[in-house]
Amino acid sequence: MNHQFDPTVLREYDIRGIIGKTLGPDDARAIGRGLATLLRRDLDGKVDTPMVAVGYDGRVSSPMLEHALVEGLTSSGCDVRRIGMGATPMLYYAEASADEVHGGIQITGSHNPANYNGFKMVFRGRPFFGEDIQTLGHMAAQGDWIDGSGSVESVDIIDEYVERMLAALAGVDEAALSGIKVGWDAGNGAAGPALELLAQRLPGEHHLLFTEVDGNFPNHHPDPTVEANLADLRKLVAEKNLDFGVAFDGDGDRIGAIDGEGRVIWGDQLLMIYAEDLLARLPNATIIADVKASRALFDHVSACGGKPLMWKTGHSLIKSKMKEVSSPLAGEMSGHVFFADEYYGFDDALYAGVRLLAASARLGKSVTQLRSDMPQMLNTPEMRFQVDESRKFAAIDEVKARLTGDDVPEGIEVNATDGVRVNTPDGWWLLRASNTQDVLVARAESDSEEGLERLLALIDEQLALSGLERGESVGH
């Protein structure tokens, strides 16, 4: 018996598709069989029956996929620990905190529309992505699966998970914490139930929005990196005169935030706050951010006594790099924040919310003050434009070749970690190929409007030399 996946669903960092069109229960069953087979081969008899933790988000299709996934895992000889509906980081916690668990799978469509769903995976403590995901496809096509029989248990870990997050406040001045007032927006996503329990236990005053899990997302789309989705939170913070607000994506692994004045605190700006707090305790630590992050962040990490490291975009790539260089903190513009300092190194937006409280109290400054202290850089949003899949990486290579040749203009410095990030006297601009879509991504930052215009002109010039143009920006 074998199985063919729709070619669009096996992506760089996860498996994702449209229910009833490109993704269904047969795919879930094949994923279970493939991961179970890989685990058994990797453990090579060291464990009689490996165990995999399985969780799912609040989407309407998630229980159906979970049922089929568990069937696949057990029929290839893995035991399953079902943790039920919850945020993706709760699944990561179930995998990271128990020695007897060897892998984890969360069924989630993340911040995609309600008719999407997918799978995020962990394999023996490391991210499962890229070639790993392609391997599942090859194995399914050949029916290359081990037969076996596994058992299933259901475990309720939400209280334990919430308790573990509260440890972030140990040793923080209680008086400082008790005066903090926070708004939280779960966006009807899977983080809602854990958020309700967490807010009951947190010091200070807490106001919650949309904690009821609803896979149709009736109030707003659960993507906190889109400013329009923060309107309800902004209103709450203004009406209740709160210190700041925190929002989550559909599966709770990405954080969005606003300060007391309603200003967005973008992913790299949050990282500036976390880094300042952490470096006071861990001087010389390496702090990682993706290539889309502001120069202000890298400068701030250096000024606070840390070592900034620019790395490739992609949560799996960042997690892998953290392990490689023993970094205690990393983050992406997209709102993924990773704490290996006093935590497990995975992206957990609920935990990041607690750490924001702790940072504000420890630094003795309101989140609004911390946001105001940041340099006022001018930057574009992330611009994404369609380029044929077969052309996107080649175009970036052409740009790279032109900017690293013999006749490069003076004052230009190129970082080719992920695409091309070009420093000029005006600031910097970035052009990179998305790993998950047929798009190029561009961004630019300057300290003046004129400088920003010049940087955008440089992007347009390089695109034109490769027969491309920015055109209309497309969504995620």
Give the C-alpha separation, 455 to 444, whole Å: 7
Cα–Cα dist 105/416, whole Å: 33
Rg (the chain; Cα; Å): 22
What number of CA atoms fall less than 13 Å from residue 405's CA on the CB side? Answer: 8
Give the residue carrying structure tokens 């903090």: 180
How do beta strands 439-446 and 427-433 pair?
Answer: antiparallel
- In 3D, which of 235, 204, 232, 206 has the Cα closest to residue 217? 232
Catalytic residue among 62, 110, 334, 466: 110
| 305 contacts 284 by C-beta, under 8 angstroms | yes
Residues 6+ apart with CB under 8 A from 51: 78, 79, 80, 81, 100, 101, 102, 103
Closest listed residue to residue 93, CA positions, set 174, 31, 32, 163: 163
**DSSP secondary structure string, 228-290?**
GGGHHHHHHHHHHT-SEEEEE-TTSS-EEEEETTS-EE-HHHHHHHHHHHHHHHSTT-EEEEE
Phi, psi for 432 (deg, rounded to 5): -145, 160
Q: Token digits for 336?
A: 């993924």
Per the annotation, the verdict on 61 as an active-site residue is no
Catalytic residues: 110
